[in-house]
Amino acid sequence: MANEKIEFTPIGYFRSSQVHPYEAGRQPDSHHSEGVIELASGQNFEQALTGLEGCDRLWIIFTFHHNQHWNPMVLPPRGSDTKLGVFATRSPYRPNNVGMSCVKLKRIDKLKIYVEGADLLDGSPILDIKPYVAYADSFPGSEPAWLSSSEKFTVQFSEAVSDDLQYLENHGLSQLRGFLLHQLEYEPDNSRKKRVKATDDGFVIAYRTWRASFKIIESGDIKTVAVEKIFSGYSAEELQAVEDPYADKKLHRDFLNR
Amino acid sequence: MANEKIEFTPIGYFRSSQVHPYEAGRQPDSHHSEGVIELASGQNFEQALTGLEGCDRLWIIFTFHHNQHWNPMVLPPRGSDTKLGVFATRSPYRPNNVGMSCVKLKRIDKLKIYVEGADLLDGSPILDIKPYVAYADSFPGSEPAWLSSSEKFTVQFSEAVSDDLQYLENHGLSQLRGFLLHQLEYEPDNSRKKRVKATDDGFVIAYRTWRASFKIIESGDIKTVAVEKIFSGYSAEELQAVEDPYADKKLHRDFLNR
């Protein structure tokens, strides 16, 4: 028994525009955009989906396919500034790299299941899909002790930032808004946990080749993150150069020249 | 990718007095008695448990180790009298036999994690343990459409049955009460789904070598299952015979002679 191996074959793969591990939500939520579970063909999975359209929410059981190692102790993304045992956290680096996400079902088209609010990365192998059943799965108010001490910020976008986000979304960059809302909600200035840097008058957080500057305002019990500016992570010189490894320089140039 | 295999090694095994598949809860709940996750030694799992004691509820990811086959369509234990796709149900017979259970954490003693309310069978391989995090996991009221149409019965025990259950619990048969509460809550007379038989004046349900007789009383909107009698599934002749494959005839004899 000690060396027993258990073998699974993915029933399909997840497809989304979330590619890099740091882009994934800390937990599934609706800030994050849509994704598709593409089931394998030729295995009767069409039949196995019968009745799934009547489910409001689904569990996806998947693997963290980028991760090949684990550590017994990890620093969680929020709520604790000391390391915790991996079993007490939802860290993706685990002895068995299995994950579970509750997502909203949008629609089903043959072997494609469109969902919303997944914290899975593009290419994640899917092991199982189960219906969410509140009487067995829902326990409101049940949080780990180390999490309940965390303090939430309200993330506010300036008018300019709202316009910029709208422009970028209209031009295909759909994830930046959710990334900012999610990353800045808790411990916005924690550079051990986030791609954030202190500047002379605030902070800058990085999302792919984009940057956002923000200030932290605490007044009594009210905690606010004010996102003030969206800007390109490319220098003027870099933007002029021909090489374009992320195939996104046109959007940056258009954004600057609009 | 199509033939990718994903391999896991159990982090430990579940131990409980629930041995046979039909004894397991339909879903985890507190009717069902305690169990222990016994983690493997020599892998730093002691450290990986740091902080877990502050978690009220845990997810256990495990495998349905009795099950080697699956069917695309299954008949769920309640809520639907027609078959559904396996992905729309929590059936344990799945393309990948992976299960998830939310359980209450009772206590931790080195590599043993004592939990309550698990629907796992004795010997289930454990793949992962995660903390329950309400903000990501709890969605009250989210039930599959096929389930919400189901109708719940109140299960009542006669005074004699209460005494009998207490006697049997005092003598080591701890699961019968939970089995009856659970099995008779929905569709108590559905013999396609349960170990139940109609008799001249009611029904009998079987739990291992024990039997319980009950009546179904529906009065307007009030639906009741009245459990009237607990009795031995052995005939007098069988009880006299020496062979005792389930090693439980002494309890049956004592029960009858008390």
Q: What CATH number is attached to the domain comprising A246?
A: 3.30.2310.20
Does B221 or B246 have the greater pLDDT score?
A: B246
pLDDT at B23 exceeding the cut of 80: no
Residues B132 and B180 in one domain: no
Query: Chain A closest CA to B79's CA: distance in Å?
Result: 12
Residue B30 — pLDDT band, cuts 50, 70, 90? very low
For residue B138, list chain A residues with Cβ-Cβ distance below 8 A. 137-142
For residue B49, list chain A residues with Cβ-Cβ distance below 8 A. 85, 87-88
Question: Is B252 part of a structural domain of the chain?
Answer: yes
Residues B162 and B134 in one domain: no
Please give the pLDDT value at position B77. 75
Residues A29 and A135 in one domain: yes
User: Of A209-218, B12-21, B36-45, B178-187, where does mean pLDDT reach its minimum?
Assistant: B12-21
Please give the pLDDT value at position A191. 87
Contact A4 B9 (CB under 8 A): yes
**Final residue belonging to a domain, choices A117, A145, A173:** A145
Mean pLDDT of chain B: 89
Please give the pLDDT value at position B86. 97
- What is the DSSP code string of chain B? -TT--EEE--SEEEE-S--SGGGS-SS--TTS-EEEEEEPSSSSHHHHTTTGGG-SEEEEEEE-TT-----SEE--SSS-SS-EEGGGS--S--SS-EEEEEEEEEEEETTEEEEES--PPTTPEEEEEEE--HHHH--TT---HHHHT--BPEEEE-HHHHHHHHHHHHTT--SHHHHHHHHHSB-TT-TTTSSEEEETTEEEEEETTEEEEEEEEEETTEEEEEEEEEEESS-HHHHHSS--TTS-HHHHHHHHH-
Please give the pLDDT value at position A186. 84
Alpha carbon separation from A196 to A68, A179, A210, A231 (Å, rounded): 26, 13, 12, 14
Amino acid identity of residue B137, one-letter, is D
Q: Write the pLDDT tens digit of every residue in A149-190.
A: 567 889 999 999 999 999 999 998 888 998 898 889 888 998
Please give the pLDDT value at position A22. 61
Query: Chain B closest CA to A81's CA: distance in Å?
Result: 13
Residues B64 and B91 in one domain: yes
Query: Chain A closest CA to B127's CA: distance in Å?
Result: 6
Question: Is B148 part of a structural domain of the chain?
Answer: no
Question: Is B104 part of a structural domain of the chain?
Answer: yes
A53 DSSP 8-state letter: G
Residue of B1, B4, B8, B120 to mutate when probing chain A, most A C-beta within 10 A: B8
Contact A98 B128 (CB under 8 A): yes
Question: Is B35 part of a structural domain of the chain?
Answer: yes
Residues 6+ apart with CB under 8 A from A238: none
Contact A138 B142 (CB under 8 A): yes
Residues B251 and B163 in one domain: yes
For chains A and B, count residue pairs whose Cβ atoms are closer than 8 Å.
254
Please give the pLDDT value at position B29. 46
Contact B133 A143 (CB under 8 A): yes
Query: Chain A closest CA to B157's CA: distance in Å?
Result: 24
For B100, the closest of A49, A59, A147 (CB atoms) is A59
Residues B199 and B98 in one domain: no
Residue B220 has a CB neighbour count (10 Å cut-off) of 5
For A51, the closest of B45, B88, B96 (CB atoms) is B88
Please give the pLDDT value at position A2. 56
Contact B136 A56 (CB under 8 A): no
For residue A131, list chain B residues with Cβ-Cβ distance below 8 A. 87-90, 144, 147
For B147, the closest of A52, A80, A133 (CB atoms) is A133
Contact B90 A136 (CB under 8 A): yes
Residue B128's domain is classified under what CATH number?
Answer: 2.40.30.70
Structure token pair of residue A64: 């963290």
Mean pLDDT of A138-158: 85
Contact A139 B57 (CB under 8 A): yes
For residue A45, list chain B residues with Cβ-Cβ distance below 8 A. 72, 87, 95
Residue B146 — pLDDT band, cuts 50, 70, 90? confident
Please give the pLDDT value at position B24. 57
- Dmax over Cα atoms in chain B, in whole Å? 64
Mean pLDDT of A104-119: 93
Distance, CA of A245 to chain centre:
23
For residue B3, list chain A residues with Cβ-Cβ distance below 8 A. 9
Burial code (b: 16+ CB inside 10 Å, e: under 16) for B3-35 equals eeebebebbbbbbbebeeeebbbbbbbeebbbb
Contact A90 B131 (CB under 8 A): yes
Residue of A31, A87, A108, A116 to mutate when probing chain B, most B C-beta within 10 A: A87
Question: Is B149 part of a structural domain of the chain?
Answer: no
Query: Chain B closest CA to A155's CA: distance in Å?
Result: 18
Q: Write the pLDDT tens digit of every residue in B96-119.
A: 999 999 999 999 999 999 999 888
For B10, the closest of A6, A100, A143 (CB atoms) is A6
Query: Residue A239: which domain range?
Result: 154-257
Mean pLDDT of chain A: 89
Q: CA-based angle A100:A103:A107, to the nearest 5? A: 135
Question: Is B2 part of a structural domain of the chain?
Answer: no
Mean pLDDT of A115-143: 91
Structure token pair of residue A140: 């409101």
Residues A161 and A49 in one domain: no
Does B14 or B24 have the greater pLDDT score?
A: B14
For A134, the closest of B49, B100, B143 (CB atoms) is B143
CA distance linking residue B253 with residue B209, whole number of Å: 12
Residues A107 and A173 in one domain: no
* % chain A with pLDDT above 70: 92
Rg for chain A, CA atoms, rounded? 20
Residues A163 and A130 in one domain: no
CA distance linking residue A48 with residue B71, whole number of Å: 8
Burial of residue A20 (CB within 10 Å: 0-12, 13-18, 19+) is: exposed
Residue of B4, B27, B86 to mutate when probing chain A, most A C-beta within 10 A: B86
Mean pLDDT of B231-243: 93
Please give the pLDDT value at position A125. 97
SS3 A22: helix
**Final residue belonging to a domain, choices B108, B143, B178:** B143
Query: Chain B closest CA to A125's CA: distance in Å?
Result: 9
Contact A9 B6 (CB under 8 A): yes
Residues A125 and A168 in one domain: no
Contact A135 B1 (CB under 8 A): no
**Final residue belonging to a domain, choices B143, B165, B200:** B143
If you measure CA to CA, which chain A residue comes closest to B126? Answer: A96
Describe the crossing of helices B249-257 and B159-170 by its angle, rounded to 10 degrees.
140
Identify the top-confidence range among A31-45, A87-101, B208-222.
A87-101
CA distance linking residue A186 with residue A225, whole number of Å: 10
Please give the pLDDT value at position B148. 64
pLDDT at A212 exceeding the cut of 80: yes
Question: Is B7 part of a structural domain of the chain?
Answer: no
Question: Is A128 part of a structural domain of the chain?
Answer: yes
If you measure CA to CA, which chain B residue comes closest to A142? Answer: B134
Residues A115 and A218 in one domain: no
Please give the pLDDT value at position B14. 96
Query: Chain B closest CA to A73's CA: distance in Å?
Result: 6
Please give the pLDDT value at position A237. 92
The tally of domains found in chain A comes to 2
User: Of A5-14, A222-231, B60-69, B147-156, where does mean pLDDT reach its minimum?
Assistant: B147-156
Contact B50 A83 (CB under 8 A): yes
pLDDT at A30 exceeding the cut of 50: no
For residue A54, list chain B residues with Cβ-Cβ distance below 8 A. 88, 144-146
CA distance linking residue B252 with residue A228, whole number of Å: 76
Residue A68 has a CB neighbour count (10 Å cut-off) of 8
SS3 A20: coil
Residues A209 and A110 in one domain: no
